[in-house]
Amino acid sequence: MASIILLAIVVVVAVALMGSVLIQSITLIDAIILSPLEKKCQEIANEGYKIHTLYPNSDPDELLDDDMKRLLYFDDLWMKECISVLPSESIFYIVNNVERDFSYGE
């Protein structure tokens, strides 16, 4: 009788662990799929980051006029179309996944 109870406990624990792994894998798959707005915001963040990397230690006044206008445009888009609309989890996901490996000559 004790062996049957022990076997039942082992089966319950194994099923619980397998269920937990399954739920985590489904959650990770859902996190990778971005909505169209999140994709647009990811592109905005990537472009803004590229401009910021051109002038890592500069004040905004030291930027070239075209780069300053472009940066202000992307910052405005970021605030209006992303920050004010998306939940904070989406914003953090986008910011953490900004493309940091790019070349300007391409």
Q: What is the reported pTM? A: 0.61
Percent of the chain whose pLDDT exceeds 90: 18
Tell me the pLDDT of the chain (106 aa) as tens digits.
Answer: 778 887 778 777 777 777 666 666 665 544 567 788 999 999 999 998 888 888 777 776 777 888 888 888 999 999 999 999 999 988 998 888 887 765 554 4
Say if CB 73 and CB 86 are below 8 A apart.
no
Q: What is the pLDDT of residue 67?
A: 85
